[in-house]
């Protein structure tokens, strides 16, 4: 407990205006301290705890996803002899439509609040398993496999029970390996009726085979056919080893595609969403945002890129103060591919025609680092298998 909190507690005079002010300030400090310990990054942890003084009692409201965080708050307030009313909710709520869900459309929008017009903070593609934390106004707060938290419209999800989730993980599944394709009503070339669009990384349940097609089902039960050459067995795909050729091939297929803030699919992506999508094509899950990705992997001397950089290394760009605002992927020869306005290739060499005057902050190597903090393979993620 901080000295400031202790001094405030000592200064509280029961019934006095000064005492109430000091009490409220002490509570604010307690909440700040507990948040710093349990939820320093609210992109991957739930924290919306607030306190309001009512007749000398601190009424605590809001959500957390960690019982220890709530217990710590209450214990600290008890120690300070502060009267409080506990209305803090622990997520996930017992009333959610299902403890788990699968994204049921090719790409679903993940927003920062429970409103269709709220900021687009990320996306999740078909077949992505998500943990359902809370439901409100036709949207659900979910957590994706990279731990990112946001709101998705309920009609983009197939809610499932623990038993259904277990069955899905044991099912014969396919993953889309083509940048974009379609799921057709019938297994024929001409006059096709499309059931759904499909994107790189979408996961479907295999129902059978017919000629050049797999019969498949989406998470919400729609059935149709996809070309065999556009999909692979999920288990076999997930067992692939690190292969930058695969990552670069799919990254270059997205050349010219427009930048979208919060985008994370083969259709459109922001800088970190583009890098994450490229790596996911090799069965590797990176962190969602550039500032998170910068904290992972093996550090490479950015200033010595001519001799130290290897294809596949992530390049972090930002302000002179060191704040990371952009990420690119090194492809060799001093070149990097990134999403900035559109997906394009530029050079780190100031003498090159395609050089951009960026402030290069750091580089991280993903190769040989899969399994370390913030870098996980699909095959070893318990939500997939």
Q: Tell me, what's the pLDDT at 22?
A: 85
Q: Which sequence spans correspond to the domains of the chain?
A: 3-90, 100-168, 171-238, 244-380
Which residue bears the tokens 């591919």?
337
Class of 100-168 per CATH? mainly beta
Flag whether pLDDT at 7 surpasses 60. Answer: no
Parallel, antiparallel, or unpaired: how do β-strands 84-90 and 57-64 relate?
parallel
Please check whether residue 201 is in contact with residue 219, taking contact to mean a CB–CB distance below 8 angstroms: no
Note the CATH architecture for domain 244-380: Alpha-Beta Complex (3.90)
Flag whether pLDDT at 5 surpasses 80. Answer: no
Parallel, antiparallel, or unpaired: how do β-strands 342-347 and 223-227 relate?
unpaired
Q: In which band, very low, low, confident or very high, does the pLDDT at 1 lie, cut at 50, 70 and 90?
A: low
C-alpha to C-alpha distances, 300 to 215, 293, 314, 315, 316, nearest whole angstrom: 45, 14, 9, 9, 11
Q: Tell me, what's the pLDDT at 10?
A: 54
Provide mean pLDDT across the span 240-259.
98
C-alpha span between 160 and 257 (Å, rounded): 34
Q: Tell me, what's the pLDDT at 188?
A: 86
C-alpha span between 188 and 233 (Å, rounded): 21
Q: Which residue has the higher pLDDT, 131 or 3?
A: 131
Domains 3-90 and 100-168 share a fold: no
pLDDT in tens, 192-243: 899 999 999 999 999 999 999 999 999 999 999 999 999 999 999 999 999 9
pLDDT in tens, 117-140: 999 999 999 999 999 999 998 999
C-alpha span between 244 and 366 (Å, rounded): 10
Fold of 171-238: SH3 type barrels. (2.30.30)
pLDDT in tens, 302-325: 999 999 999 999 999 999 999 999
Q: Within the chain, what is the greatest distance between any pair of CA atoms?
A: 82
C-alpha span between 165 and 99 (Å, rounded): 9
Flag whether pLDDT at 46 surpasses 70. Answer: yes
Q: Tell me, what's the pLDDT at 13?
A: 45
Flag whether pLDDT at 30 surpasses 60. Answer: yes
pLDDT in tens, 69-128: 999 999 999 999 999 999 999 999 988 899 999 999 999 999 999 999 999 999 999 999
pLDDT in tens, 342-368: 999 999 999 999 999 999 999 999 999
For the range 228-233, what are the long-range contacts, defined as Cβ-Cβ under 8 Å and sequence gap of 24 or more? Answer: 229/178, 230/176, 230/177, 230/178, 230/181, 230/198, 231/174, 231/175, 231/176, 231/177, 231/178, 231/204, 232/174, 232/175, 232/177, 233/172, 233/173, 233/174, 233/175, 233/206
Please check whether residue 23 is in contact with residue 48, taking contact to mean a CB–CB distance below 8 angstroms: no
Flag whether pLDDT at 4 surpasses 90. Answer: no
Provide mean pLDDT across the span 251-267.
99
Please check whether residue 223 is in contact with residue 196, taking contact to mean a CB–CB distance below 8 angstroms: no
Class of 3-90 per CATH? alpha beta
């Amino acid at each position: 407990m901080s000295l400031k909190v202790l001094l405030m507690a000592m200064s509280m005079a029961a019934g006095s205006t000064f005492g109430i002010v000091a009490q409220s300030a002490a509570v604010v400090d307690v909440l700040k301290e507990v948040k710093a310990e349990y939820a320093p990054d609210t992109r991957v942890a739930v924290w919306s705890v607030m306190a309001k003084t009512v007749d000398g009692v601190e009424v605590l409201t809001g959500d957390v996803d960690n019982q220890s965080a709530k217990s710590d708050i209450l214990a600290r307030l008890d120690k300070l002899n502060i009267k409080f009313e506990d209305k803090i909710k622990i997520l996930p709520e017992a009333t959610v439509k299902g403890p788990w869900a699968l994204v049921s459309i090719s790409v679903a929008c993940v927003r920062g609040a429970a409103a269709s017009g709220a900021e687009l903070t990320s996306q999740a593609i078909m077949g992505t398993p998500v943990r359902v934390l809370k439901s409100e106004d036709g949207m659900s707060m979910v957590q994706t496999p990279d731990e990112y938290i946001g709101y998705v419209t309920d009609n983009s999800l197939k809610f499932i029970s623990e038993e259904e989730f277990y069955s899905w993980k044991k099912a014969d599944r396919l993953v889309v390996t083509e940048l974009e394709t379609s799921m057709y009503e019938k297994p024929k070339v001409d006059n096709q009726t499309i059931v759904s669009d499909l994107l790189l990384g979408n996961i479907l349940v295999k129902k059978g085979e017919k000629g050049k097609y797999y019969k498949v089902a989406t998470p919400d039960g729609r059935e149709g056919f996809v070309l065999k050459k556009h999909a692979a067995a999920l288990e076999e795909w997930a067992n692939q080893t690190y292969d930058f050729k695969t990552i670069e091939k799919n990254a270059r297929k997205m050349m010219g595609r427009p930048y979208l803030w919060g985008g994370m699919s083969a259709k459109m992506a922001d800088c970190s969403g583009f890098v994450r999508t490229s790596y996911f094509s090799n069965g590797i899950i990176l962190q969602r945002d550039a500032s998170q990705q910068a904290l992972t992997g093996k550090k490479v001397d950015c200033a010595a890129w001519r001799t130290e950089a290897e294809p596949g290394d992530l390049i972090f760009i930002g302000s002179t103060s060191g704040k990371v605002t952009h990420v690119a992927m090194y492809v060799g020869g001093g070149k990097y591919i990134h999403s900035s306005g559109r997906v394009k290739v530029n050079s780190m060499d100031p003498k090159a025609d395609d050089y951009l005057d960026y402030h290069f902050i750091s580089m991280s190597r993903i190769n040989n680092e899969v399994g370390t903090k913030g870098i996980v393979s699909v095959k070893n993620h318990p939500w997939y298998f």
